[in-house]
Chain A
Amino acid sequence: MPARARGPGAARADEGTRTARALALAVLLAAGCRDAPAPRIGLVMGGDAQSVSRLVLEDWHASADPAHRGLSLVDFNRRYTSDAAVALATAESLAAMPAVVAVVGHSNSSASIIASQVYNARHLVQVAPTSTSPLYREAGPWSFRLVGGDDRQAEFLADEVVKRLPARVAVMHVNDDYGRALRQLLFASLKARGVAVAYDGSYVEGEPFDADEATAAIAHARPTLLVWLGRSPQFGRLVDSLRAALPTLPILASDGFGSPTLVRDPRHRFDGIRYVRLVDVAHGSPALQSLRARYRQLTGTELTDQAALSYDALMLLAQATREAGADRAAIRSWLTALGKSHPAFPGVTGPIAFNEHGERVTGYTLVTVGDTLRAGTR
């Protein structure tokens, strides 16, 4: 049992640890032979990934070799998947299970980074669907991701900022591995474009957030554009006071802002906010459209980046176990060979192949909450 950390995360760590122990570690995808124990794929993502995993099972049963079927779905905990303690405990548990040959996770860069050390030490393949922090590149040779690093997103955001010719730019970032790194990269990109930042603020997820104080601080800077480098729940606490103080302030957000709750907000408080999406759902392939439709039918919500990329990650690893067998090293080699000795995997989000950092170079799309998705892809 991991040592209990003192500080703000300690209570969550305790609960997360106990939960992790009770879990059978999310979706177990058996792709092995009938005679041998079926290999399993761990899924450590949010609820939308769990939802899409059901579609993965349906599609796998429909397409896979009858000799390589066997898919079991185990309940998983959608909460605190980003918590470090939970991430570590989950990673330790998954790595200790011989039948687990790969993991799809975690839900954010911090959790992915801290868990990657366990996976790399125990030689367990990790595919992070949406972790964009540049730090993830240093995770190790067993860690892959289906998206590019935030250095590219920073450039994309900087270009979008410049397009809007803001006189004063306010930047708010979540002070963690994701937000901090993205902030540094964005500041560098803005500086390179000659854009000065009028306000540079931060927040910590999970800590009490004084929305009025934050609004006052932002408003004091009199920004003409706010760039939110964080997640939507925290913004949800701010948006009321912010809209009240700066009703016309354009807001530009990074990919972490994406969430199913955005369009479900009854007051449409997030409408008009433009944020970066890692997957161009509106203009995607027919397979993506099909998945989008099926996901909407299943969940009643729009297909998120996490869901789409989790779908591709699960299908990718299922295919890997079918072709490379239930061997962790073989699966890793198979993933490394994609786009080289093996053709790229045809994911719904596009062909999947990894560069020397184990990351997939993808484009970005800027979408507006409450509006149809418009092109703005990098």
Chain B
Amino acid sequence: MRGAIVVPSLRRSLVASVLVTVAVATVAMIGGLSATVGARRAVDHDTDALLGEQRTADEIVLLSYQQQLEALRYVAHPDSAARDAFQRLGDDADAHMRRYLFLDLSTAARLQVEVMKERHASFEVAAQRALELADRGDLAAARARMLVAGERGAALDSSVGRFLALRGAQRDALRVESQAVVSRVRVALALVGLGLLLLGLWLSRHLRGLVLVPLEQLTAAATALRGGDLASRVPPQRYVELARVAREFNAMADAVQATRETIEMQNEELRQSFDQLQQTQDELVQHEKLSAMGQMLAGLAHELNNPLGGVLGMAQVLRDELRDSPLEELRQIDAELVEPIEREALRARDLVRSLLSFARKTSGTVEQVPLAATIETAARLRRHAFVLAGKSLRVEVDPALLVFADRQKLQHAALNVINNALDAVAGEAGRAVIVHAVVQGGVAHVHFDDDGPGFANVRAALDPFYTTKPAGHGTGLGLSLVEQFLNECGGSVSVTNRPEGGARVTFTLIAAPAATESPGQLTGAPPRAAVRGPASGETLRVLVVDDEPAMREAQRRLLTLEGFSVLLAATGDEALAILAREHIDLVVTDLRMPGRQDGRALLAVLRATYPALAERTLVVTGDAEGASSAALPVSPERIISKPFTRAEYMAAIQRAVAAEGASGAD
């Protein structure tokens, strides 16, 4: 096809080169050897032929002389045997001469053979005449004729010699020519040898270019590749076989390079993943620690609730006693001593509740939650740190603002942001962190503003493991977890640097309609309800069941002050014993109690035995915040969380009494 590129084949080139070289060498050798051998054979043949001709010539002469002898003998004594011998010898001599007839003779030699024949014939005729004269008895004439025959025999002898000389000269010429041929052949062989040497040099050079250079290139490329130079490649080759090898090597190198790059990339990804994994593991460990700590705190909080409940209850009782005392001293004691006790006990209670709230597992339920209270719960945990750092943390959110969120997750998110803000304003960087919210179009934007240095990289701030803190001082997961928590709540988070300086983290949540009062979150003291039973007008008898003496005593004093008749039981069994013999209008029981009959068991017995009473039974527990309401045995409005204020406690009592009144007495 016109324009098609013909790629030379190495194999064909090598084969052709070798064949050409071998052919040339073979032809030269064969030619030289043949010529030399031929020349030598020709010389040997000529030598042998010359010797043969010499022998023939000798025979001819000998035979002619023998003929003469026979003729002389016959002349001396006529004898048929001699005559026959004479003839036979002549035939032999003629036969010998005929051997020369068909040789490759020169013209002179050939003519000389004819001369020999003629002289032999002439000799024979002369001798024969002598014999015939002898037959006729003319011996003198016969002898004279024999002399003539002898002369002719001598002439034959000289003609034979002349023939041999001519042949010798011819053969000498041939020998000289053969030697010249041999010399020429030797020269030719020498030239051929030189040519072969040059051809061999060229061939070796050519082969080097054909094979060795490409192999060296391939070796160098392979060595470089093995040494790490992934860019090493074999240059393009001329011949199709080597081009194929080069192409395959380069493809292999490309694959190796790509694989290595892939491996390096994957290694980098693995390293990053490992780092992330390590960080996640640390986070998980921390989380587990926190979880364990949370559980521990939950347990501790529960344990604290009881004595706190006792302290708070007693403090409130004492305040009731002292606040309205006519004695100034007593009122002063109340104000200076008891009120701080109540206040700190309440503070401790709030802290415990906050801890229990964070320790609680998230419900995963998006519900209406009070934004301010939820954020305050988180803020409360860190406010003391702010104070210690000389910074301020203010939550300026409308308490009535409700949002749709998972409470725990929102608390966690707020706590993470507050922690980051505290770190941001640490030292001389800033002074305050303010949390405020704006509702626009049904969306609540909660801003966490600080006056710190702001985000170094706003875009990466929410990326996992992004942190500007020194190693060991942060996992970089905080804000990414915030984002995750809010996304799970159906919200979002954004970060920015404030124009006036500092950072702003904004939660975006769906605002909920105006909140109705939660029965579990009543504040303020409910109005005092009547303490008498609605039907009989008698004082209501309340059975308080709690294994804590302080809690029993606190409740007794509170109920007594409110005009209830109170019976106390330390265990569920005691409570059942009292119920069996006494009329009880209302039972208020602790949930956790030692023994076989804890609060749950007691409730179960009440439902079975005193169903109406069970419907009114109140549960006092320190786990109200730590347990999900689904795990509580009664509805939320019948649960009193301890430690409780007097107002909270009495509100629950009043609701239970009111319900009894609505349903009729037991």
Contact = CB atoms under 8 A, between A and B. Distances in A.
Contacts of B106: 3
Nearest to B122: A204
Given A6-B159, A6-B162, A138-B101, A216 B108 contact: no
A117 B136 contact: no
Given A5-B115, A7-B155, A217-B132, A135 B98 contact: yes
Interface string A1-39: 011011111100100000000000000000000000000
Given A117-B101, A117-B105, A135-B101, A85 B111 contact: yes
B114 A217 contact: no
Interface stretch (A195-203, A356-364, A365-373): A195-203
Contacts of B102: 117, 138-140
A220 B135 contact: yes
A217 B131 CA distance: 10
A10 B135 CA distance: 34
B128 interface: yes
B111 A5 contact: yes
B124 interface: yes
Contacts, number: 91
Given A3-B166, A88-B110, A217-B135, A121 B104 contact: yes
A184 B166 contact: no
A178 to B, nearest CB: 12
Contact of B118 (A8, A213, A216, A217): A8
**Residue among A110, A117, A176 facing the most chain B CB atoms (10 A cut-off):** A117
Interface of B: prevailing SS: helix
A6 B94 CA distance: 19
Given A7-B155, A117-B101, A184-B91, A84 B125 contact: no
B171 interface: no
A176 B119 contact: no
A114 B116 CA distance: 13
Nearest to B105: A117
A168 interface: no
Contact of A13 (B111, B136, B159): B111
Contacts of B119: 7-8
A202 B125 contact: yes
Contacts of A110: 114
A85 B112 CA distance: 10
Contact of A114 (B91, B114, B122, B129): B114
B125 A114 contact: no
A204 B101 contact: no
Interface in A175-201: 175-177, 180, 184, 200-201
A7 B101 contact: no
B115 A117 contact: no
A340 B570 CA distance: 153
Contact of B125 (A92, A140, A207): A207
Contact of B115 (A6, A135, A177): A6
A113 B101 contact: yes
A169 to B, nearest CB: 15
Nearest to A207: B122
A211 B254 CA distance: 117
Contacts of A213: 129, 132-133
B150 to A, nearest CB: 16
Contacts of A140: 102
Contacts of A7: 115, 118-119, 155, 159
A213 B94 CA distance: 25
B136 A5 contact: no
Contacts of B122: 8, 204, 207
A26 to B, nearest CB: 20
Nearest to B141: A213
Contacts of A88: 107, 110-111
Nearest to B112: A5
B330 to A, nearest CB: 166
A357 to B, nearest CB: 14
**Residue among A7, A176, A201 facing the most chain B CB atoms (10 A cut-off):** A7
B50 interface: no
Nearest to A6: B115
B121 interface: yes
B14 to A, nearest CB: 44
B118 A204 contact: yes
Interface in B46-100: 87, 91, 94, 98
Contacts of A10: 115
B131 to A, nearest CB: 9
Interface in B129-171: 129, 132-133, 135-136, 155, 159, 162, 166
B436 interface: no
Given A3-B166, A201-B132, A9 B125 contact: no
A203 B132 CA distance: 13
B489 to A, nearest CB: 118
B90 to A, nearest CB: 9
**Residue among B87, B108, B118, B129 facing the most chain A CB atoms (10 A cut-off):** B118
A114 B115 contact: no
B306 to A, nearest CB: 143
Contacts of A2: 107-108, 111
Given A3-B107, A9-B114, 17 more contacts: A3-B108, A7-B119, A8-B119, A84-B110, A84-B114, A114-B110, A117-B102, A117-B105, A117-B110, A175-B121, A177-B117, A180-B94, A204-B121, A204-B125, A210-B129, A217-B135, A220-B132
8 contacts: A7-B115, A7-B159, A135-B98, A175-B124, A184-B91, A202-B124, A217-B136, A220-B132
4 tightest A-B CB contacts, nearest first? A3-B108, A175-B121, A84-B114, A217-B132
